[in-house]
Structure 1
C-alpha cells in the first residue's frame, strides 16, 4: 500500500493511523492500494485522517480521540460508549463519539458513489490514544463500519473485512476518484498503480459487423422524386460472409481414430482399459519432527528485502539499515493433543551488530514484528490463526536473527503458556524449506 501524505491530520491518533498504514508496505504483498493521509474532498469542511483506495473497495478512515487510554472500549455505533466500564461524557452529558464521524463518512461515501457507483465503501473509526481491546456489538460487525485502535494488525483486519468488492478496480477508476476527492494529490504513474493491484483499464471492444443489410430511409407516399427521396449517400453493401467451416465431423473422426489406436494397443498388451483416474491431489507435506513435535509446512519463501514485510518500529529500523535477506515460514505444530500455528522469520545482515540491535528492538513489546507469511499470503486453512497473545522467542547466531511466534489455532493463547513457549523454543531449530 502506497502512503501519500497531504494535509496535516486533525486527530491526535492520526500519527498511529499513518504508522499503521505505512507498515503495510508498498505492493500487493499485504493489501495493495493507495492511502491518502489528510485529504479534504472538495466541498467538504472535514479533513479525513485517511482515504484508503484498495483494488477491492474504498475505506474512509476518521480518527476519534478519547479522553484517556483504555484497556477495554465498548463502542456501539448507536448507544453509549464506555471506557473500562465508565460512560464517556462531555460537559456532564453521556456521548457517543461516533455520531459526527459517521455523519461525515456518510457524506463522503455518497460523493464516492456519485463518481463510481458500483464500488464497495466502508468506514474505519480509529480510536486512541491507546485501547487494548475494542468491543463492537455483533450486529454492528455485520455492517460496513469498524472501530479499531490503529495498529498494523487491526488495520489489516479492517481492510480485509470491509474491502470485499468482487472485481478489482481499474487504474482509470482510481484516477477518477483521485480527481474527484483529492485533486491536489501528486500524480501516481500507471505502473505504480498496477504494482498496487489495480488492473489496467481496457478500451471498449467495437461491435463486430452483423452482415445484415443497412436500412435506408423511404420517401413518404406522394413525395416528388428528387434529392429528398434519395438516400443521403451510396447504399452500404453488406460484407460478404464466407460459409463457416464446420470442424465437428473432422474432430469426431480424429477422436474415433484415437480410440481405435488405443483399443489396438490395449488388445496387443492384454490389458483391459481402466476408467480414467482423477489427477492426484497435492500431498500433505511430510512433518518435520523436532523434540517430539511435528512441524508441517503451510508456506515458505525467501525475500531479498526485509522492511516491506515488517511492521512498526521494526520496519522503520529495517528501512534505515537494510538487510541481506529474509526467509519466512509458517507451520502447524501438533503438540499435547492440540494444534498450534508457528511463524518463523530468519533475517540475515552484513554485520552481527545489526542482528543484535534488531533483536533488542524486536524483543521490546509493541515495537512491531515481521508479518507472518501464511497470513499475508492467505495460505492458512480455516480457522486461520491471528497470533493474538502468542508466545515469542528470538535468537541470534552471528549475523543471523531468528524470530518465532506461536499461538493456538481455534482457541485463545497467552504469551506465557508453557506449551506454546516450549513449541516456540523448539522452532528455533526447525529448518526452513528452500
Structure 2
C-alpha cells in the first residue's frame, strides 16, 4: 500500500510505459505529368478560323438588320420624285414642241377653280410638253403638265382639287396654244386624264386621239377612253422628270 499523498510532496509519475511523440505521417503527392508542348501554327490557325466565323455571323446579322426585304423599285410613289425609265407606251416629243415650255405664272395657264387656287397660292413654276404615241396604229396626243408648288402641302391641295369634277384644270398644250393640231383645239374633250403628286410637283396628263382616228358614237368613245386614253395618261406620268428639267 502506497503512502498517502501529502501536499508539497512531489507526485510520482504515472505507472505505465511512456511513448515518445511521433512526427506526423509523411504526405505523398503525385505530380501531374507534364503537358506536351502545343503547336503554335495550329493555335494561330484556330484563332483565324474563329475570327472569320465571328465576322461572317456579324455580317449576316447586319444584313438582316439593315435590309427591309424589299426589292428596289424605280417607280415613284405619291411623295417620291423618281420616275420610271420605261413604260407601256413609246412616247416621242411632238415635232413642234421638242423641248418643254416653262412659266412662273401658273394661274394664267389654268381655268376654273384651279386658276383661282393658283392665283391665291402662286406656284414656283409650270413646265409643259406635248408627246405623241401610237396604239394599234392610232395616233394619240398626250399633254404633260408639271406644276411645282412652294411646298408639299400646297401641292397636295392642288392635287385634290384637280380630281374634283367641274373644278377646271391646267390648260393642256393645245388649249394653251403651244401646239396646233388640225381639227383639235384641246385634249380635254377626249376624256383621257391622270394626275399624281411627286413631292412639291403635281403632274397632270390629258390625252386624246387624233381626229382621223377617233371613234363615232358615245359607247365607242367611252371604250377608247377606258382602254386607250386613260392607260396612255397613266403611263405618261413617268415623263414628269423629262418635262420638268428646271427642278432637276
- Secondary structure at 2:190's aligned position in 1? coil
CA contact (8 A) 1:340 1:406 kept: yes
> How much has 1:374 moved relative to structure 2?
3.2
Q: Which residue does the alignment assign to 2:55?
A: none
CA contact (8 A) 1:346 1:400 kept: yes
CA contact (8 A) 1:394 1:401 kept: yes
> How much has 1:386 moved relative to structure 2?
2.9
Q: 1:417 aligns with which of 216, 226, 230?
A: 226
> How much has 1:377 moved relative to structure 2?
2.4
Q: 1:291 aligns with which of 77, 83, 88?
A: 88
User: In the TM superposition, what whole-angstrom CA distance separates every residue of 1:55-105 from its partner, at most 9, and x where no partner exists?
Assistant: xxxxxxxxxxxxxxxxxxxxxxxxxxxxxxxxxxxxxxxxxxxxxxxxxxx
2:89 & 2:170 partners in 1: Cα distance?
Answer: 27
> How much has 1:392 moved relative to structure 2?
0.8
Gaps of 5+ in 1: 1-287
Q: 1:301 aligns with which of 101, 113, 116?
A: 101
Q: 1:403 aligns with which of 184, 190, 204?
A: 204
TM-score by length of 1: 0.32
User: In the TM superposition, what whole-angstrom CA distance separates every residue of 1:142-189 from its partner, at most 9, and x where no partner exists?
Assistant: xxxxxxxxxxxxxxxxxxxxxxxxxxxxxxxxxxxxxxxxxxxxxxxx
Q: Which residue does the alignment assign to 2:156?
A: 356
- Secondary structure at 1:374's aligned position in 2? coil
Gaps of 5+ in 2: 1-84, 216-220
> How much has 1:376 moved relative to structure 2?
2.4
User: In the TM superposition, what whole-angstrom CA distance separates every residue of 1:322-353 from its partner, at most 9, and x where no partner exists?
Assistant: 11111011122212210111111101111101
1:433 & 1:316 partners in 2: Cα distance?
Answer: 23
1:401 & 1:426 partners in 2: Cα distance?
Answer: 15
- Secondary structure at 2:243's aligned position in 1? coil
1:292 & 1:400 partners in 2: Cα distance?
Answer: 23
Between structures 1 and 2, the one with greater strand share: 1
Alignment of 1:84-103 (within 5 A): none
CA contact (8 A) 2:146 2:244 kept: no
Q: Which residue does the alignment assign to 2:139?
A: 339
- Secondary structure at 1:344's aligned position in 2? strand
CA contact (8 A) 2:174 2:186 kept: no
Q: Which residue does the alignment assign to 1:4?
A: none
Note if 1:432 corresponds to 2:229: no
- Secondary structure at 1:380's aligned position in 2? coil
Bigger RCO of structures 1 and 2 (CA < 8 A, at least 6 apart): 2
Give the length in aligned residue pairs.
147
CA contact (8 A) 1:306 1:318 kept: yes
1:390 & 1:363 partners in 2: Cα distance?
Answer: 13
1:385 & 1:296 partners in 2: Cα distance?
Answer: 18
> How much has 1:417 moved relative to structure 2?
2.0
1:331 & 1:337 partners in 2: Cα distance?
Answer: 16
Between structures 1 and 2, the one with greater helix share: 2
1:390 & 1:369 partners in 2: Cα distance?
Answer: 13
Root-mean-square deviation over aligned CA pairs: 2.2
> How much has 1:433 moved relative to structure 2?
7.3
Q: Which residue does the alignment assign to 1:310?
A: 110
